[in-house]
Every structure is written in structure tokens, then in C-alpha cells.
Amino acid sequence: MNEEIKKGTDYTGLIIAAILAPAYLVFYLMGKEEMGRSVFIVLGMTMLAIRVRWDLRNRSWFWAVIVLVLAAHIPLLFLVHWPEGYHGWLPAIGTLPIGLADVLIILGAVHLVEKFIVKSPPPEEM
């Protein structure tokens, strides 16, 4: 008798958007909409990467890697500027490559550190 385990609806995307909306709004109200957009993308992709590797949430090294990655993003937030005079909403498809690259870099950093910190069990002898 196979019984399926019912899982509730995953509201991760909605939660991330609810957390990021005030951050974007602060920059928008300060007149720095392009920086707000950059912060929105960086924080959103970082939260997505955290969600993907949520199984590591109890490891202190995981959070140290996330903090270091976010610290590495700070100079980029000041260097990357969206096109001058662009005051409309940039379509999601336009930011997709940037966000995808960011998530892959974050997940790669986590994987690299995990590879060196987590010891694999010795192979069993036959």
C-alpha cells in the first residue's frame, strides 16, 4: 500500500519577494533605483541559493561562505550601473542571465568549501 506524503505549498518565492520589496523600495525612494535593482537581484539570488542548499543551514561554514559572497558583492553594487536614462521596468528575461550566473557562482562557492570541509567516509574494503 503506497501512500503519498502530502507536502504543503512551497511559498519560498513569495517569502523572498516580501523580504526584498522593502529593500528595493528604500533605494527607489532615495532616487537610486538602479542600485535598488542591483541589490534586489543580488539578495534575491543569494536567498535562492540558500534555499537550494537549505540542508546545510546548521553548518557554520555555510553561513560564513554566504557572508563572504555577499561581502564580495558590495563593490559590484557600486560598479554595475544600468543603462543611463532607463526609467522603466527591465523585463525579467533581461536580468535572467545575470541572476543565473550569480546563483551558479554562489552555489559553486558553497560546493567548493563543502568539498574541502566535509570529509567523505573511507571506502569500505571487500
Residue type, 65: V
Q: pLDDT-based confidence at 49, cuts 50/70/90?
A: very high
Helix or strand (DSSP H, E) at 3: none
CA distance 5 to 8: 10
The pLDDT tens digits for 61-99 are: 999 999 999 999 888 877 766 665 555 556 667 778 888
Question: For the whole model, what pTM was predicted?
Answer: 0.74
Asked whether 109 and 49 are in contact (CB, 8 A), the reply is no
CA distance 111 to 104: 10
